Structures are given as structure tokens and as C-alpha cells.
Amino acid sequence: MQVRWHPEAQQDLEGLSLKERAGIFNAVARLAAIGVALGYPHTSQVQGAANLRELRPRAGRSAWRAFYRRLGDALVIGSIGPEAKVDPQGFRAAVAAAVRRLNSLQE
């Protein structure tokens, strides 16, 4: 399945270490290979955000998440942010950014 990036989500990667970026890229490759059938612990629904999923690098052992949604025939990553328990405020901000960015692509 095709996985695309919102341009601002690509910018979110800039603050991550090389190790964390590699984890994100490996998780995205797995998502592209398996598509919507990819399940837990690699991905899960974001509570309180309609139609938004979190990609969980290293089967959830990473402190970072990629937030994505299916748009047409592609899965689109809207933002990168911290895991909810590591940084609750940062998680909420990343979820809000993903929703805003992905909604703008649908309009």
C-alpha cells in the first residue's frame, strides 16, 4: 500500500535522533508492505481522534509515534510526536497537528 507524508510531518522528523528516525522509517516500510492489515503492537487507534491511527516503531518500544489516516488509496502520515505516557502534552499536540493537516488534505 502506498504511504505518503504530509510535508510538515517530514519536518517533524528533524528533531529526532538517527536511531529514532530509523525506527520510524522501518515502521513506515512495514506499514507500506502490510497496509491496513498491520495490527497491534505495530499500530493502534488513537483514542479521541476519529479515523486516526498511531504507528508504533519497534512494536511500541519507541518513545515516538507517527500519526496517520487512510485517504483514498494511500495511508498518509500527518505528524510525528511523542508517545502518550512519555509526554502527554506533546502527544496531544502531535495528534491535533495530524488531524489539522490531514483534514486540510481532504478539503
> What stretches of 1-107 adopt beta strand conformation (E)?
2-5, 43-45, 53-55, 64-71, 74-82
Q: What are the tens digits of pLDDT across the range 40-97? A: 999 999 998 989 999 999 999 999 999 999 999 999 999 999 999 999 999 999 999 9
Enter the pTM of the model. Answer: 0.95
Q: Where are the domains of the chain?
A: 2-106
> What CATH number is given for 2-106 in this structure?
3.30.2310.20
Whole-angstrom Cα distance, residue 98 to residue 18? 22
- On the CB side of 67, CA atoms within 13 Å amount to 30
